[in-house]
Amino acid sequence: MSAKRTTVVKHLLLLGAYLQREAGRMLLDVDINQQQFVVLKEIQERGPMIQREICSAILFEKSNVSKIVKKLLKSGLVTSIPSAEDARAASLSVTPKGRLLIGRCMKKLNAWNRKWLEGLSEKELEAAVEVLDRIAAMAK
C-alpha cells in the first residue's frame, strides 16, 4: 500500500474514533448511546425499515442491531409492526417520542458540527463529501 493510502486510512481511523467519542459525550444526558442514535436516525431518514435493511445501510452486525432495536423498543423510541413482505421480519418506525429525542440530539450535533468544521469553505466541504461518499461506497 502506498504511503498516501496508508495515511488516508490512518486519518479515517483516527477521525472515526474521535467522532465516536465526541458523539458519545454529547449524547450522555439524553439516555441513548451513539450506536442507538445512528440506528434511530437511519429509521427516521429512510422510513419504516426491517433489521436486515438497517444492517446493510449502516454496516452494523446483525447481533448488534438486534440488541439496539430491543433497547429502542423498550424505550418507546420505535415501534414494530409485522412486515407485509416477510412474515419473519418486523417493520420499525420512529415514534413521536423518538422524533423528539432525535430533534434534541440534532441540535447538539449540528452546533458541534458547525463549530468543528467552521474552518472549511463550502467548496472544501463539497470535495470532502464527494471523496467520503466514494470511500463509503467501497465499504458496502
Domains of the chain: 3-139 (1.10.10.10)
Instruction: Please compute the mean of the pLDDT values over residues 69-78 and round it to a whole number.
Output: 96
Calpha distance 136→69 (Å, rounded): 24
Instruction: Please compute the mean of the pLDDT values over residues 25-31 and round it to a whole number.
Output: 85
Query: pTM of this prediction?
Result: 0.82
User: How many whole angstroms from its chain centre is CA 122?
Assistant: 23
Instruction: Please compute the mean of the pLDDT values over residues 41-60 and round it to a whole number.
Output: 91
Residue 27: the pLDDT is 86
> Is the model's pLDDT at 39 over the cut of 80?
yes
Residue 1: the pLDDT is 67
Residue 105: the pLDDT is 93
Please write the tens of the pLDDT for every residue from 77-105.
999 998 777 778 889 999 999 999 999 99
Residue 2: the pLDDT is 86
B/e letters for 13-27, b = 16+ CB within 10 Å, e = fewer, are eeeeeeeeeebeebb
